[in-house]
Amino acid sequence: MAREIAAPGGIAAMAGATEVLVARRPAWQRLLRTAVRRPLGTIGGGIVALICVAAVGAPLVARYDPAQSFQIQNSHYNPNVASDKGYNTTTALDQYVQDSKSAPSAKHWLGTDEAGRDVWSRIIWGARRSMGIGVPTMLLAVAVGAMLAVVSGYFGGIVDTLMQRVLDAFQAFPSLLLLLLIGSAFDLNARNLVLSLAFVGVAQVSRVVRSKVLTLRELPFVEAGRVLGATDLRLMVRHILPNTMGTVIVVFTIGIGSVILAEASLAFLGLTHAGVSWGMMLNSGRNFINSSPWQAVFSGAAITLAVLGFNLLGDTLRDVLDPRLRI
């Protein structure tokens, strides 16, 4: 912003002066100070970092193939079963059976699921699924939402009123209901899931960013730009948009948490199909929760931890970047 106004003399001197007055420490030192002062945000950032590592490095972090079904020696196995008529043949025939629904052990840190697959490995791969839906969804939502918000907030008038009414209409649907409606018309594969979640996200992003634009457009630097002959397009793209970035980053971070939650809800209801998904794991784990609660408890904990991480990080980013923002 300072660089923008720097060309003509008087204003440049003022902008430059404020720049000099604030003695700036190196970026990493400032980051460290913020981290120490805001422990909750640091915890959130740590959780988010862990999830990113799990998502990116899933093949390395997971101990086994998430689809691999483990076998175990059958304790009821009886090689003489064919000649022994009185024996229960269904459990005695096979030498190996699936190692299903086992409790946590050194071999399977979080136990195994109903098909003998390693829950820990599946939770790690589930992080890839959650982030693989969450990040592209919010990137799309933020790109479209911020653009709409800047245009409608900047021009105001009839465009703005129309857009507000459309957003109000979307607001009338609880977001899960909107997703179910979209799910009734489209097959919710990964691409459609991202598109429909982003569609829901755009309404929320643009609402928040628009209110920021409304305050920004009244500020002197926008007026100054206009006096200097900047076009509407230039004012929007070079002056207002960069100043919404704090808000956008906060919305982006908190948004990923809610997208992860929405994906988990849809997967929980069995409306999406993926190789591995936390919501799916929680749903299937519910069927044998009394005999072996591991899968349900851990996959649900993964969803909670992920949402918690993004919420804590987002809250702290808001306190730092845009304290007046209310989400």
Q: Which residues bind another protein (CB under 8 A)?
A: 40, 165-166, 168-170, 172-177, 180-186, 257, 261, 264-265, 268-271, 282, 286, 289-290, 293, 296-297, 300-301, 303-305, 307-308, 311-312, 315
| C-alpha closest to that of 213 among 304, 325, 55 | 325
209 close to 150: Cβ distance less than 8 angstroms = yes
Question: Is the CB of 155 or the CB of 186 nearer to another protein?
Answer: 186
- Angstrom distance (rounded) from CA 311 to CA 44: 7
What does the angle CA 252 – CA 258 – CA 264 come to, to the nearest 5 degrees?
Answer: 135
What does the angle CA 12 – CA 16 – CA 21 come to, to the nearest 5 degrees?
Answer: 155
Scored b (16 or more CB within 10 A) or e, 164-178 reads eeebeeeeeeebeeb
CB of 283 to another protein, least distance (A): 8
Question: Is the CB of 230 or the CB of 297 nearer to another protein?
Answer: 297
CB of 49 to another protein, least distance (A): 17
274 close to 264: Cβ distance less than 8 angstroms = no
Question: Is the CB of 49 or the CB of 181 nearer to another protein?
Answer: 181
End-to-end Cα distance, the chain: 26
CB of 290 to another protein, least distance (A): 6
Question: Is the CB of 137 or the CB of 175 nearer to another protein?
Answer: 175
CB of 195 to another protein, least distance (A): 13
Question: Is the CB of 2 or the CB of 162 nearer to another protein?
Answer: 162
CB of 285 to another protein, least distance (A): 8
